[in-house]
A and B are shown apart, each in its own frame.
Chain A
Amino acid sequence: MSSRRRLGLIVNPVAGLGGRVALKGSDGAETLRRARELGAVPEAPRRASEALRPLLALRNTVELLAAPGEMGADEAAAAGLEATPVGAITPGQTTADDTRRIARALAEREVDLLLFAGGDGTARDVYDAVGTGPVVLGIPAGVKIHSGVYATSPRAAGDLAARYLAGRVPRTHEAEVMDLDEDAFRAGRVSARLYGYLRVPDDRQAVQHVKAGGAAGETASLAAIAADVVESMEPDCLYLIGPGTTTRPIAARLGIDKTLLGVDVIQDGRLIARDATEAELLSLTEGRRAKIVVTPIGGQGYIFGRGNQQLSPRVIERVGRNNLIVVATLAKLATLPGQRLLVDSGDERVDALLRGYLPVVTGYRQRAVCRVC
């Protein structure tokens, strides 16, 4: 091993506070206060320490930079690790601002990996601060985890972090940061918004089968998918291109810088609309030929209903099932439970129309066939 690696650590001490007392999420000062009244005890610090334990074996080769006190340094100490504090906080009154500020500071210190413990909210804060620059990884400590940037457990986070820092996970990929509508969620409805992307270590496949270089290991597959879709684009036809890391290269191949999170519309190689709303999409597709290009968002495999609600049931129905182009790498499909695609358009009738089997573009002149549920 060459030089010492640098690990950054931020813990959101109030993440998960609402969970045990049956409050969904713990954002908002009011919800926090209620949680504490109900005797809620912070979960995040314990989980963060649990995640740090696998890193003890690397203590001599890894330098740990942590947010101070209850936002990191304490958890490190509890795990038996020495940490250099970065930034300043007011103990007992930490906020999302602290998370953002300290994440930026750690990124500036060029940490090789930024570990953060929290929930979707914490992931959003980290994204706001550092975007897809540094490599990060989430330690799950909150109630609701819909973002793909988290490991499946604190232990898994620590193991993956240790392997990554030891140079045994040379590939990273961009994972979605999701944002649930809090009020809707508490009222029993799931309504997810795609918030952004963070770069996380990619541990999904065999170590011998990854390409070194740090950059997205799936570049070749994504380029092949883009080549296939662009080659088969028909003239005089609208293409409604949904959000996702797999759809972006399609636009890029046409020289178009697609919005990260929205639905862009392209025709004959030109950008027609950026980040279109449902209304705009309905207006544009009135009486015109159109196709929809989507990719599964998040780890569950939703092609409609998570992060691309602008592609509403009415839009889907007008475009028609036969004009759906689903794109995803074979490696991505392998990670979806049962390799199934899920739909939750908001209209059960449209969902029923979509069910069955759909071909998925997985490369140049390459398709996989997946069940839609």
Chain B
Amino acid sequence: MPEAPPFVHPYIPNSVPETRAAMLREIGVGDVEELFRDIPAKLRFHGRLDLPPPILDEAGLRRHAEEIVRKNVSCQERLSFRGAGCYQHYVPAVCDEIARRAEFLGAYSGYTYSDKGKYQATFEYQSMLGELIGMDAVTVPTFDGGTASGSAVRIACRLTGRAEVLVPATMSPQRLAIMRDYCNVGISLTPVGFHPDSGEMDLDDLRAKLSERTAAVYFENPSYLGLIESQGAQISELAHAAGAQSVVYVDPSSLGVLAPPADYGADIVCGDGQPLGIHMLFGGGQFGFIGTRDEERYVMELPTLLFSIAPTTTKGEFGFGWSSMERTSYDLRGESHDFTGTTQGLWGIVAGVYLALMGPQGMRELGETILQRVHYAMKRIGEIPGVRCPALAATPFKEFVANFDGTDKSVAQINRGLLERGIFGGHDLTAEFPALGRSALFCVTEVHTKADIDRLAEALREVVA
């Protein structure tokens, strides 16, 4: 007697016993167990997996799910000023609608004939991002900005044949950790110091550290500490003079008001596109990009899938194809210099929707409104006794550092106090940057009203008093 299925399940149409029996008959097999006969008995799992009993009804599953997620407190329910790589911006409803479309949610490796829309939407995202960063070749999304920056510096190493990368001492610690692991193939990372007053890169230190071993100078603009690096052109010049590549990491939400890195000498641009219409998702909204000039020597070093527009046999009709696969680990296999796979495709499409909604004016207004709100926040917080804000003098974009050495509280204590008042404070920098003392990184975007900022200042004043 063949074993009957334990139940009929909505996800498994052929769990209906009669269907199963009919299929087994047709393939001449008595019991499904026979299909596993080629797995040696000693490799078979003979027990029952120790998992909770199934919640077969959707209502019950939903109730269980809501019970668990209700233990989370979201940034809709609290006022959050946290950034440090993941940002709370407004997500337009049209972005949410496209993000939930079954066609984009369920698409995978269908080709240009059955899934042309997916390719077009991705190509359009690539195009719009290319306009923001000033580069003609843009990759499909990578896993996140950190992996994009790791791949970017390895490209520079291959192009120059060198194995040292100069990175800013203010670099995001998370991205540095990713880059360290990625470059653990004989590529060394050397930090370049920053001016303690402004927070911008110390060009004397850069000059001292550049050599004929330097493959790339990598810098972030805005920096992890939120500051706009005004010396971008000089940094690129110095890199080039030493025969190195200029690799710039950007926040695309700033590029409505900030110059595209191509304008100040960047050879390779990378970054994270989460701010462009994608929810924070506890870190699941990140996606990376790499952009270069459309020159064969650069393109052939890009590790990702690349979708190119293509003509069809009908004039005026176009499609999309997978370009130059011999660059990628799919073809290179053991010969690969880098690898790729399934990454964050949907977020690229959603970012495209966002940029199309915003347009050039929207992106400019976004930048301008953020700059104003940040300045207002710094002013309000700077008025609090014991608080030095801004702690660094360079112009910030959407994050700034406030120093609390003049109070007797640690940032952890301050953030606890803020939490009691329903506020997620700035990201604690004390352990990451001891040179900055007891400091926190505050993020202010277009979602923060004057009232929100006033509330933060008020709460901080109470907590540090």
- Please list the residues of chain A having a beta carbon within 8 angstroms of any beta carbon in chain B: 208-211, 217, 220-221, 224, 330, 362-367
Contact = CB atoms under 8 A, between A and B. Distances in A.
B321 interface: yes
Interface stretch (B131-139, B282-290, B329-337, B424-432): B329-337
Contacts of A211: 324, 326
B318 interface: no
Interface in B311-354: 321-322, 324-326, 331-335
Given A221-B335, A365-B334, 4 more contacts: A210-B326, A211-B324, A363-B335, A367-B334
| Closest A-B pairs by Cβ, 9 of them | A363-B335, A366-B334, A209-B325, A366-B335, A208-B322, A211-B326, A209-B331, A224-B335, A208-B325
Nearest to B337: A364
Nearest to B111: A208
A363 B326 CA distance: 13
B47 to A, nearest CB: 36
B305 to A, nearest CB: 11
A362 to B, nearest CB: 7
A362 B321 CA distance: 28
A209 B326 contact: yes
Contacts of A365: 334
B324 A362 contact: no
Contacts of A210: 326
Nearest to B324: A211
7 contacts: A208-B321, A209-B325, A209-B331, A330-B333, A365-B334, A366-B333, A367-B334
Contacts of A330: 333
A363 B321 contact: no
Nearest to A1: B313
Nearest to A366: B334
Contacts of B326: 209-211, 217, 220
For chain B, the bracket of interface size reads 10 to 19
Nearest to A208: B322
A208 B319 CA distance: 14
Contact of A363 (B324, B325, B334): B334
Contacts of A224: 335
A211 B333 CA distance: 17
Contacts of A362: 334-335
Contacts of A363: 332, 334-335
Contacts of B333: 330, 366
A211 B321 CA distance: 13
Q: Please indicate which of the listed interface residues B325, B333, B335 has the most CB atoms of chain A within 10 Å of its own CB.
A: B335
B325 A364 contact: no
Nearest to B321: A208
B50 to A, nearest CB: 40
A220 B326 CA distance: 9
A363 B334 CA distance: 8
Contacts of A208: 321-322, 325
Contacts of A367: 334
A90 to B, nearest CB: 45
Contacts of A217: 326
A209 B333 CA distance: 13
B463 to A, nearest CB: 57
Nearest to A221: B335
A360 B294 CA distance: 36
A214 B326 CA distance: 15
A363 B332 CA distance: 9
A19 to B, nearest CB: 41
A84 B400 CA distance: 78
Contacts of B335: 221, 224, 362-364, 366
A43 B333 CA distance: 44
A208 B324 CA distance: 8
A168 to B, nearest CB: 11
A231 to B, nearest CB: 14
A361 B70 CA distance: 57
B123 to A, nearest CB: 16
Contacts of B332: 363
Nearest to A218: B326
A124 to B, nearest CB: 33
B189 to A, nearest CB: 23
Contacts of B334: 362-363, 365-367
A98 B335 CA distance: 47
Q: Please indicate which of the listed interface residues A209, A224, A364 has the most CB atoms of chain B within 10 Å of its own CB.
A: A209
B180 to A, nearest CB: 23
B324 to A, nearest CB: 6
Nearest to B325: A209
B325 to A, nearest CB: 5
A247 B334 CA distance: 20
Contacts of B331: 209
Contacts of A209: 325-326, 331
Nearest to B322: A208
A363 B333 CA distance: 10
Nearest to A331: B331
B345 to A, nearest CB: 18
A217 to B, nearest CB: 8
Interface in B14-39: none
A364 B324 CA distance: 20
Nearest to B334: A366
A241 B321 CA distance: 41
A46 B377 CA distance: 87
A210 B326 CA distance: 7
Contacts of B325: 208-209
A363 B324 CA distance: 18
B339 to A, nearest CB: 14
Contacts of B321: 208
A216 to B, nearest CB: 12
Nearest to A166: B313
A330 B333 CA distance: 10
A170 to B, nearest CB: 11
Nearest to B333: A330
B77 to A, nearest CB: 48
B185 to A, nearest CB: 12
Q: Please indicate which of the listed interface residues A211, A224, A362 has the most CB atoms of chain B within 10 Å of its own CB.
A: A211
A220 B335 CA distance: 10
Interface string B45-89: 000000000000000000000000000000000000000000000
